[in-house]
Amino acid sequence: MVRALRTLLAFASAFVAIYAVNLAGSVLAGLSGLAGGGGPRLAWDLLWVFLAGVAATWSLVTLAPVAPRIHAAVFFVLTLAVDGWAVVEMGRDWPAWFGAGILLTLPLQVWLGAWLALRRRRAVSARIRPPA
């Protein structure tokens, strides 16, 4: 039961990270005077979507109670479904490169976030466990 709750917490933290990082990107765009719409703003938004995916995966894998790679794989599938739906539903409002960028960078987002989190987990484990 505790593992299930920790898994739910890990997934919740991932979705909070997506929201928070994208919100930060939006606020920074406004502060920098980057106008809404157009190619430069979409490129900026795509960058922040990428960073949000990395942060979300990092958070999920860091907090996963067991099997962090499986958690990352499930997150990838869920995010691919949501991103795919968004591209299909709202794709008419975006240039093709933006929708493609959202879908094609997802594997890299998840891999990079998981890689960073697993490196951190190994480093923390090495500090906790004395060498044999």
pLDDT tens digits, residue range 51-91?
999 999 999 999 988 899 999 999 999 999 999 999 999 87
pLDDT at 108: 97
For 60-132, strand residue ranges (E) read: none
Q: What is the mean pLDDT of the chain?
A: 90
**C-beta of residue 45 within 8 angstroms of C-beta of residue 18:** no
Decide if 14 contacts 56 (C-beta within 8 A).
Answer: yes
Could you give the number of structural domains in the chain? 1
Interatomic CA distance for residues 40 and 69, integer angstroms: 35
Across 31-35, average pLDDT: 85
Is the separation of the CB atoms in 64 and 119 below 8 Å? no
pLDDT exceeds 70 at position 12: yes
Q: Which domain holds residue 123?
A: 2-128
Q: What angle do CA 82, 107, 65 make, to 5 degrees?
A: 80
Lowest mean pLDDT among 12-26, 29-43, 99-113: 29-43
Does the pLDDT value for residue 126 go beyond 70?
no
pTM over cut 0.85: yes
